[in-house]
């Protein structure tokens, strides 16, 4: 039986991305399940990996400008290289040549230096695929969590969350996960779920209306609960999906549960997209200190969801 093709971008060339991809693709776990198609800069690949690590994948050259990129430092050139790989890999998936895309970490600073206005992969991929609704979903073993807001300042969160955004976020996540009777925990924004609006009114004005709509649509969801109690119950297997109102409300607990198993998923795209739940790690780039297990998890997760995605 043929193994499914999986598109993989090499991310920011100044960080750990090229290393984690090349090493992960040499693992038996990955070799057994997919046929990798890797997108990146030819000069960077040649400079740091050819002749040093055996390469077992099909390589697609997206740029050829990376020889002078300095390891461990964000730069305009690094951002251009990362962006070129994403664009070409998305086109590859949109043409039907692969049903899954795994992206190695990129640097938001490098992208900004390259003139990219988007804060990260999620927004870039939504734009390139013309997807109107996407959600930033995180998987950690059997636990799934999703963010209503993503990379925005804490001071902007209460202005950004809306009932419709919460509704769309939960539904996109449930649709992607594809399991029946998913138990969804809805996090409150404020301490103690606002305590009858003593600590804030967002629960009553924004989150409860979304809850009522989702409940009417047959979704097994809680009223807005204090996030601390939600995570304790989730860790003990009581909930399948946590809907968090903001980035750190989701990421801090997941990293405490098992940071090596976190997989970043973009729900709502025309193909499966995953990424390891960490950044470019400029501080250890090129030092052979990187843990490749999150990259392996991301590839395996993507492959495991291809079949369900195709059958939708």
Q: What is the pLDDT of residue 52?
A: 61
CA gyration radius, the chain: 20
Domain 1-131+269-312 fold is: Isopropylmalate Dehydrogenase (3.40.718)
What is the percent of the chain with per-residue pLDDT over 90, rounded to a whole number? Answer: 78
Q: Select from 175, 174, 88, 143 the least CA-distant residue to 256.
A: 143
Tell me the backbone φ, ψ of residue 269, rounded to 5 degrees: -85, 165
Q: What is the pLDDT of residue 210?
A: 98
As a three-state string, the secondary structure of 263-300 is EEEEECCCCEEEEECCCCCHHHCCCCCCCCHHHHHHHH
Q: Select from 274, 275, 271 the least CA-distant residue to 309.
A: 271
Average model confidence (pLDDT) across the chain: 92
Q: Select from 262, 288, 300, 259 the least CA-distant residue to 27.
A: 300
Instruction: List pLDDT tens digits, range 111-154.
Output: 999 999 887 899 999 999 999 999 999 999 889 999 999 989 99
**CA atoms of 180 and 178, how far apart (whole Å):** 7
Q: Select from 43, 107, 51 the least CA-distant residue to 69.
A: 43
Asked whether this chain's domains 1-131+269-312 and 134-262 adopt the same fold, the reply is yes
DSSP-derived 3-state class of residue 11:
coil
Domain 134-262 fold is: Isopropylmalate Dehydrogenase (3.40.718)
Residue extents of the structural domains in the chain: 1-131+269-312, 134-262
pLDDT greater than 90 at residue 193: no
Tell me the whole-structure pTM to 2 decimals.
0.91
pLDDT greater than 90 at residue 48: no
Which residues touch 61 (CB under 8 Å, ≥6 apart)?
40, 41, 42
Instruction: List pLDDT tens digits, range 250-283.
Output: 999 999 999 889 999 999 999 999 999 899 999 9
**CA atoms of 166 and 243, how far apart (whole Å):** 8
């Amino acid at each position: 039986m043929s193994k499914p093709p999986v598109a993989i971008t090499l991310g920011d060339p100044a960080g750990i991305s090229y290393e984690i991809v090349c090493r992960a693709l040499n693992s038996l776990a990955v070799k057994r399940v997919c046929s990798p198609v890797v997108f990146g800069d030819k000069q960077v690949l040649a400079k740091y990996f050819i002749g040093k690590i055996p390469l077992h994948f099909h390589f697609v050259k997206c740029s050829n400008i990376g020889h002078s990129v300095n390891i461990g430092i964000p730069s305009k050139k690094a951002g251009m290289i990362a962006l070129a790989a994403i664009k070409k890999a998305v086109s590859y998936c949109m043409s039907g040549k692969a049903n899954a895309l795994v992206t190695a970490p990129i640097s938001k600073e490098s992208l900004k230096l390259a003139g990219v206005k988007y804060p990260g992969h999620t927004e870039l991929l939504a734009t390139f695929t013309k997807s109107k609704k996407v959600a930033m979903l995180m998987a950690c073993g059997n636990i799934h969590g999703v963010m209503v807001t993503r990379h925005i300042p804490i001071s902007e969160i209460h202005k950004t969350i809306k009932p419709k955004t919460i509704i769309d976020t939960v539904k996109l996540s449930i649709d992607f996960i594809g399991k029946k009777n998913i138990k969804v925990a809805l996090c409150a924004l404020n301490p103690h779920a606002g305590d009858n609006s003593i600590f804030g009114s967002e629960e009553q004005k924004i989150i409860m209306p979304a809850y009522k709509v989702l409940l009417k649509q047959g979704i097994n969801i809680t009223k807005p609960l204090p996030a601390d109690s939600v995570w304790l119950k989730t860790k003990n297997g009581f909930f399948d999906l946590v809907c968090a109102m903001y980035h750190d409300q989701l990421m801090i607990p997941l990293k405490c549960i098992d940071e090596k198993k976190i997989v970043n998923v973009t729900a709502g795209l025309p193909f499966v997209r995953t990424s390891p739940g960490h950044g470019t790690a400029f501080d250890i780039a090129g030092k052979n200190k990187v843990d490749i297990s999150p990259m392996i998890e991301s590839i395996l997760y993507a492959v495991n969801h291809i079949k369900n995605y195709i059958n939708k």
